């Protein structure tokens, strides 16, 4: 089996990279190694992006299939952002490399379960698909589920995996529900008809699974009438905005920070002054670098009375990944074994240095990751991790 997989592998792999948008730029690589240097896990990789390109040019990349260190890539776009030649390193090279590893059966066990769960239950957590809307129980107002509501809505809220099932992230989800309710937004959710957006599975090399999940979501979208899609999940946002259209699934989509920033004047009168607070904001990779949204989240934070924004050393386009992207959410054990480091620890240390009292986030991967790190990083004991939505709701209630 290994023979057929590796015959002409380097050539085939190299040629396949030109199918990715801007893939031809690969030919212009200067071997400056900025990509490998900026990569938060580059020092742990046998094949950081720059070396992968060098070995490919030498025609000897077959060896990469034997290494598992490509799985350290968290698809954070740091390499893509700094590349002076604009080579699509994250969406092209690194994602294609993971696809090849997966096809060769070189896949860490913990990632395998997340992919199997996604295929089977439509979410990587292995939770019951029937309970996707269970978080709505116990609210004192109704969350319309499209199948039951049977009417068009202005806004279809794509809730997403962690926002639906993870007990900590559900708090953020409920905060958004309250906010939408407060603002009188006409919205609905898909409930059990919603499947994982599939983006992190795609970036973890499972393109086929991504397509399967996208098709299921596309089918559900097609059943209902709505003006636009909104989501609290930058990964879902990225998938629906940039990837689904390639599969013929085209809908306008916005992240909640854009959606709310547009309504900032309606929100401001609702916000009370809860005292002064130093808040630092962590730019999620798939909101910031991948989609250039830096101002809307900060505008929301600035609207909260008493909030003083302090920036961390890495901010906006240089933001540090929380470690959860590109399959990292399902590789914690593997990554720990490789390097005995957590990217979330590094980030929380920066929040300590910035003397922040609150670490504000805007992605469902982050509250559990950063909260874990505040428990172990010295000086972080008093830092609270809050999604912007939670800060808004705390200022309203």
Partner 1 sequence: MKNIVAIVKMVPDLVEELEINEDGTDLDRDWLRLIINEFDNHAIEQAILLKEREGGEVTVIAPEAEGVEDMLFTTAAKGADRMIKLEGDFEDGVNNHALARAFAEKTKSYQPDLILTGVQANDDLDGSIGPLVAEYLGMPYVGYISGVTIEGEKALVKKEYPGGLIGEMEVTLPAVLGIQAGEEPPRYVAISKVRQMMKTSEIDEQEVPELDSSGGIAANRMYLPEAAERAEMIEGDEGEIAAKLVEIFKEVGAL
Which parts of this chain interact with partner 1 (CB under 8 A)? 1, 99, 102-103, 105, 107, 109, 112, 115-116, 119-121, 126-128, 130, 206-209, 211-212
Cα–Cα dist 8/18, whole Å: 16
H or E segment to which residue 158 belongs = strand 153-158
Cβ proximity to partner 1: between 107 and 175 the closer is: 107
Tell me how far apart the terminal alpha carbons of the chain are, to the nearest angstrom. Answer: 61
Who contacts 214 (Cβ-Cβ below 8 Å, separation ≥6)? 197, 198, 239, 243, 244, 247, 249
Cβ proximity to partner 1: between 117 and 226 the closer is: 117
Cβ proximity to partner 1: between 86 and 105 the closer is: 105
Minimum distance, C-beta of residue 196 to partner 1, in the bound complex (Å)? 13
DSSP string, 218-268: HHHHHTS-EEEEEES-HHHHHIIIIIGGGGT----EEEHHHHHHTTHHHHG
Q: What are phi and psi of 155, to 5 degrees?
A: -130, 125
In Å, what is the CA distance from 223 to each residue of 129, 130, 220, 301?
19, 19, 5, 36
Cβ distance 253 to 180 under 8 Å?
A: no
Longest dimension (CA), the chain: 67
Measured from the Cβ of residue 224, the count of other Cβ atoms closer than 10 Å reads 17
Task: Compute and round to an integer the Cα radius of gyration of the chain.
Answer: 21
Minimum distance, C-beta of residue 212 to partner 1, in the bound complex (Å)? 6
Cβ proximity to partner 1: between 115 and 392 the closer is: 115
Cα–Cα dist 310/357, whole Å: 10
Minimum distance, C-beta of residue 202 to partner 1, in the bound complex (Å)? 11
Cβ proximity to partner 1: between 117 and 135 the closer is: 117
Minimum distance, C-beta of residue 181 to partner 1, in the bound complex (Å)? 30
Minimum distance, C-beta of residue 30 to partner 1, in the bound complex (Å)? 33
Cβ proximity to partner 1: between 165 and 370 the closer is: 165
Minimum distance, C-beta of residue 117 to partner 1, in the bound complex (Å)? 9
Cβ proximity to partner 1: between 120 and 263 the closer is: 120
Residue 33 Rama label (left phi>0; alpha psi -120 to 50; beta): left
Minimum distance, C-beta of residue 231 to partner 1, in the bound complex (Å)? 24
């Amino acid at each position: 089996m290994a023979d057929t997989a590796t015959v002409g592998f380097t050539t085939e792999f190299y040629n396949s990279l030109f199918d990715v948008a801007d893939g031809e730029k690969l030919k212009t690589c200067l071997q400056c190694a900025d990509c490998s240097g900026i990569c938060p896990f580059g020092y742990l990789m046998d094949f950081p992006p720059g070396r992968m390109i060098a070995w490919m040019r030498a025609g000897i990349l077959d060896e990469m299939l034997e290494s598992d260190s490509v799985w350290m890539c968290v698809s954070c776009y740091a390499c893509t952002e700094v590349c002076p030649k604009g080579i699509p390193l994250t969406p092209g090279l690194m994602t294609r490399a993971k696809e090849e590893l997966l096809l060769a059966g070189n896949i860490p066990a913990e990632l395998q379960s997340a992919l199997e769960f996604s295929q089977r239950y439509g979410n990587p957590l292995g939770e019951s698909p029937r309970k996707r809307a269970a978080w709505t129980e116990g609210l004192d107002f109704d969350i319309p589920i499209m199948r039951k509501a049977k009417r068009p809505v202005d806004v279809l809220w794509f809730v997403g995996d962690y926002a639906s099932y993870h007990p900590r992230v559900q708090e953020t989800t409920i905060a958004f529900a309250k906010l939408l309710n407060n603002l009188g937004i006409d919205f609905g959710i898909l409930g059990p008809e919603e499947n994982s957006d599939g983006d992190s599975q795609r970036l973890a090399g499972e393109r086929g699974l991504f397509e399967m999940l996208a098709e299921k979501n596309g089918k559900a979208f097609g059943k209902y009438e709505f003006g636009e899609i909104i989501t609290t999940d930058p990964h879902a946002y990225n998938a629906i905005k940039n990837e689904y259209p390639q599969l013929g699934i085209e809908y306008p989509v916005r992240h909640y920070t854009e959606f709310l920033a547009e309504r900032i004047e309606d929100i401001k009168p609702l916000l009370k002054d809860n005292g002064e607070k130093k808040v630092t904001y962590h730019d999620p990779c798939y909101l910031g670098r991948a989609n250039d949204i830096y101002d809307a989240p900060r505008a929301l934070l600035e609207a909260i009375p008493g909030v003083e924004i302090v920036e961390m050393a890495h901010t906006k386009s240089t933001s540090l990944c929380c470690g959860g992207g590109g399959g990292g959410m399902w590789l914690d054990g593997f990554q720990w074994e490789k390097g005995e480091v957590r990217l979330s620890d590094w980030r929380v240390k920066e929040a300590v240095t910035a003397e922040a009292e609150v670490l504000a986030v805007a992605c469902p991967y982050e509250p559990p990751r950063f909260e874990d790190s505040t428990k172990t990083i010295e000086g972080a004991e008093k830092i609270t991790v809050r999604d912007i939505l939670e800060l808004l709701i705390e200022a309203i209630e």
